[in-house]
Amino acid sequence: MTARILVVDDIPANVKLLEARLLAEYFDVLTAENGYDALAICERTQVDLILLDIMMPGIDGFEVCERLKANPRTAHIPVVMVTALDQPSDRVRGLKAGADDFLTKPVNDLQLMSRVKSLVRLKMLTDELRLRAATARAISLEDGLETGLGDEPGDILLVDGRGSSQDRIARALKPIAEVTCMSDPQAAVFQAAESNFELVIVNANFEDYDPLRLCSQLRSLERTRFLPILLIAEQGDDDLIVRALDLGVTDYVMRPIDPNELIARSLTQIRRKRCNDRLRASVRQTIELAVTDGLTGLHNRRYLDNHLKLLIDRATARGRALSVCITDIDRFKLVNDTYGHDAGDVVLREFASRVRSAVRGADLACRYGGEEFVLVMPDTTPEMAAGVAERLRAIVESEPFQIPGKDIALSVTASLGIAAMLPVGDTPDALLKRADTALYEAKRSGRNRVVAAAA
């Protein structure tokens, strides 16, 4: 793993020490001697993580962190404050400014490298999501993926082996979250997988159970793979913390727990979870839009072109039948010319709805273009396909299409052409061509009918 890390400190010896440690792990290191230089570097070049001193001339580390997090271009960069300050109030102030973690001077090598690698992994994941979600922003699907995340209480699962500490932690978190407390780690895994928690807090105080086993199980399940995990560890248990971060635990606090620090770290993880959920949803929506017709909600021609060959190959390999139907709305141009394109869009949407009602769950319905639609019917003989097509023709003809706001009911019919896959195999183009020829024959012979292609 490699990344570009910015070290910010006004004492050259501190900079050289951190730089040497990071270079030994093959990280690319940039340095800055004050907050203004750090902000300028982040503006003009890519930075994957910032190790930021607090006590500096000019603007201190708290203000630098606040400015970084307020700038959309740099808000996603993880910030670790490296400082001689070790008071809980200083950590809470830094967390509220947006810092992801604290390292106290002199810096422990194991904690430094494990924390850096953990945050870099998290940053790479977030960068991938942000890159893919940029498409959604480009086509105005999102106004801002990190805004509007809400301040409503979060949902936290607390896994703690002692009832007394469960009560204390739950009371501390009550202002910001609904807390579900569990003592059984295995039951907690199932509860986490079946619920919609935004954070799991694992207290490493079990007498006869390794808490990292629970963390590992949460990371191995699909439903909980990206769920933030906050570990509560004993002061000085560096080995446990290093192993936890390597496993994918996202943050930790030390006992005795400072309630304000616990709240600040929990809020940071909940907000990050909501942001990443938004990013993933945006990615899914963008993928769906790429293969979905925006007007009718059916799959589009791009999806058909990519999917039809797979269905043909599967049917050929299994020796199964497959049929295709192309349907076209009769005299659709007249609808647009007489009543306008808004009325035409209403007809297309209603037609698509009737197509859905006529096809089976295994069938593929697509808008092919304009007023043409395609049905792909796996495991369907020509006789069965003719029955499906006739049912669709009757559904279209049976009831007029209502045009909202115009008090108009249009009588609409459709012509349909069907073709079956050849027993020796077929190509998508040849199969669609035969169905299209049958559709042309249905149009030529009077419309509002089903015609099958010659075998």
Instruction: Collect all residues with Cβ–Cβ distance below 8 Å to 12 and sequence separation of at least 6.
Output: 33
Cβ-count burial of 418 within 10 angstroms (0-12 exposed, 13-18 middle, 19+ buried)? Answer: buried
**3-state secondary structure (DSSP) of residue 373:** strand
* Rounded Cα distance, 346 and 403, in Å: 7
Question: Please, where are the H alpha helices in 144-258?
Answer: 163-173, 185-194, 211-220, 238-247
Give the Cα-Cα-Cα angle 267, 34, 98 (nearest 5 degrees). Answer: 5
371 is catalytic: yes
CA-to-CA separations, 411 to 136, 275, 327, 355, 398, in angstroms, rounded: 39, 49, 17, 16, 9
Sequence letter at residue 170: A
Edge-to-edge strand ranges of the sheet holding 101-104 = 28-32, 4-8, 49-53, 79-83, 101-104
According to DSSP, residue 27 is labeled: -
Pick the catalytic residue: 19, 33, 142, 371?
371
Which residues are the active-site residues? 371
